[in-house]
Structure 1
Amino acid sequence: MVSPSPTSDQAPALGRAETPIAFIQAIATAYTQRGLRVDEALKKAQIEPKILKKNNARVTAMQMELFSGLAMQELDDEGLGWFSRRLPWGSYGMLVRASLTSPTLGLALGRWSRHHGLLTDDIHLTLTEHQGVATLRLEEARDLGVFREFCVVSVLRNALGVACWLTDSRISLTTTHLRFAPPAHADSYRVLFDGSTHFNADMNALQFDAGYLALPVRRDEAALKQMLQRALLLTVRPYRRDRLLVERVRQTLAQHPEHSRNADDLAAWLNMSARTLHRQLQEEGASLQQLKDSVREQRARALLLRTRKPLKQIATEVGFSNEKSFIRAFKTWTGQAPESFRQSA
C-alpha cells in the first residue's frame, strides 16, 4: 500500500470519525503477534488506547492514515499482518511502478493484479470484463483469520485508489461484493465504498463501468516519485472529476438520437462546447465518429436479428440517408453484408 511516512510532530487533521475501530484493533493485533508495543504509535496518531476496547468506536480518516503508516514502518510490513509473510516497505509502490508503462487502465490494473501474486499467494486478484461491467475480484486462498475484513477492504480500496491515481479520475463503483457477513459497523461502508455494498456475497469484488478500462494512464515515473515523496495514502477522495465522458456520449447517442446529428447539438445536450467534447473524448482514447459507429452497429445488429424489417427501414432507423451507405458501413463494421449477417444468425 502506498502509504504516509509520518513524523512524530504530525497531528491528525480534524474530521468526522468514520473509520471503524475494528481496523485499528487489527493493526494492534499485528503488533502483538510481532511482540511489539503499540502504545507509541497510538500516541503519535492521537488515538486513546482505551477506545480499542470499545467495539463501536470510530477514528478519523487522518488518524487511520497516520497510524497505519507508522505501523507499516515499525512492522516493516505493508500488509499489516494480513499475509503469511511480510510485505517489506515499498512493496505496493513497486506494483504501481510496474503498471506505469501501461497505455490504458485495463492493462495497468491487469498488471497490478498479476504482480500482486508475486508478493503473496494468500489472496488472488483478477480483473475481468463482461457485458460492459468490469469486475476486480479478490479470492482468499487461505483463512485470513482476524485480519480478513481489514485485508479485503484495504486491498480493494488500495486497488481503486491506484486506478484513480493512474487515470487522475474519480472512478464510480456500481457495486461492492463482500463474502463476509455485515459487521457491527456496516454503516461505515457507505463511506468506504460508493455504490451499493452486498455482504454474504459469493465473491469479494468491486464492479464498475468497463468504459473506465479504456482510460489512458496519465502518470509517469516523475509523478510517482513526487507522490511517494509527498507520501500520500492513495484514496479516491482527491479525484472529483469522472472522466468517463465516453459512456455519457454513448448513452446519449443510443437514447436521444435527435441530439446526435452533429457535434454542436450533442455538446449542447451535454452542457459543454463542441471543442471540449472532442478534446475530452480524445483524452479518453475515443472519437465521436467511433462512438457513433459503435452505437449504430449495435442498433443495426439488434434490428437485423430481432425484426424482419427491410434494410431500407433499418438504414433510416440507424441514421443513414440511404440503404447503400448503410450496407457499405455494415460491411466495414462486421465484414458481412446485412442480409448475410441476418441469415447466418
Structure 2
Amino acid sequence: MSEPRTTSSSWAQSIVQGLEMGGVDCRALFLELGMDYAALGDAEARFPQDGMTRLWHRAVELSGNPAIGLNMARVVRPASLHVVGYALMSSRTLREGLTRLVRYQRIIAEGADLNLRMLPEGGALTLAIHGDRLPPARQSAEASLACTLAFCRWISGTPLKPLQVWLQGPPPADPEPYRQVFQAPLQFDAEHYGLLFELADLEAPLPSANESLAQLHDRFAGEYLARFSGSRVAHQARQVLCRLLPQGEPRRDTVAQALHLSERTLQRRLQDERTSFQQLLDDTRRELAEQYLAQPNLTLLEIAYLLGFADPSNFFRAFRRWFGSTPGEYRAALDSR
C-alpha cells in the first residue's frame, strides 16, 4: 500500500482556527479523533488526511453549519500556506504567484491537485481534492477556495472579484454565506471546484513583489518538497493516474514518462514503498469509485469510464471484488444513511 496523504500543520492550524471561530471545541475534537492538538504548533508536523476529513464531518455535525469551511477566508495569513505563502507574496504578479501555488501545493496538503489554465475568458484556477481512504469533505474544497481568494485579495491590496466561482455539489439551502465570501457569480453542481479570474487582475503587479525573496522562497520550498517527497513516488504516480484515468487505462510507461523516470526505476521505487503499479492502479480506482458514487449526478456508466474501464462489466467485477456489492447497491446504501 502507498503511504497515506497528509496535511501540513500550518494548514491544519488555520482549519482549526476557522472551526473554533464557528464555535467548535477542536481541542476536545482532536482528542475524540485520536489526533495530537499540540502538534499544531510544530512546523514540521503533518496530519493524516483522513483524520482531517473526519474533523470536517464532526465539525459540521457539532456546529450544524455546512458552510463552516468558508470561515477560512477570515483567518488567512502567509503562514497558513507554509513557505508557499511567502513565495506567493513575493511574486511579481498574481499569475506568477498562483503558478507557484500550483507547483508547491503538495507542501500544504497532498490531497489537493491544483491547475492554472489561461482561457480566452480569463485565468482558471481549478481544484480537485483526492480522498485517501475516505472521500474528501465538501468543506475542505470550499475552505481552500475561500482561503485562496482571501489571500489573493490581501496580497493584491484590492477587493478582487472572480468572474466565476465553481462549486461541486448541489446548491446549499442558504447560499448567502457563499455570496458574502466570494462576491462573485456562483455556479453549483459544477464539473470541478475553481475560480475564474480576469486576465488583467492576474497580470497586475503585486505591491509585495520582491524578486530576491521570491528566489529565496523558491529554494526553501524546493528543498522542503525534495526532502518531503523523497521516496514517495507512489503518491506522485497516483496523482498522474487520477489525471490519466478518464482517458482510458493508463500504461506503466506513460506514468513513468510523466514522472521523468524509466519504467524500471518506477517499478523499483514502488517496490521500495511496498506497492506495485498494478496495486496502485487498483487502489486509486477503488478510492475514486467511492468518491464518484457519492456524487448523484454521475451515472454508473460515466463512473466506469472515468475510472478508465473500456468495458463497464469490468468495472462491476472490480467493484464487487473491492466492496462485496454492486455499485448500485453501494450507492443505495449511501443514500439511505
What range is the shorter-chain TM-score in? 0.3 to 0.5
Q: What is the TM-score with the length of structure 1 in the denominator?
A: 0.41
Which structure has more relative contact order (CA 8 Å, sep 6+)? It is 2
* Structure ranking higher in helix proportion: 2
Larger Cα-atom Rg = 1
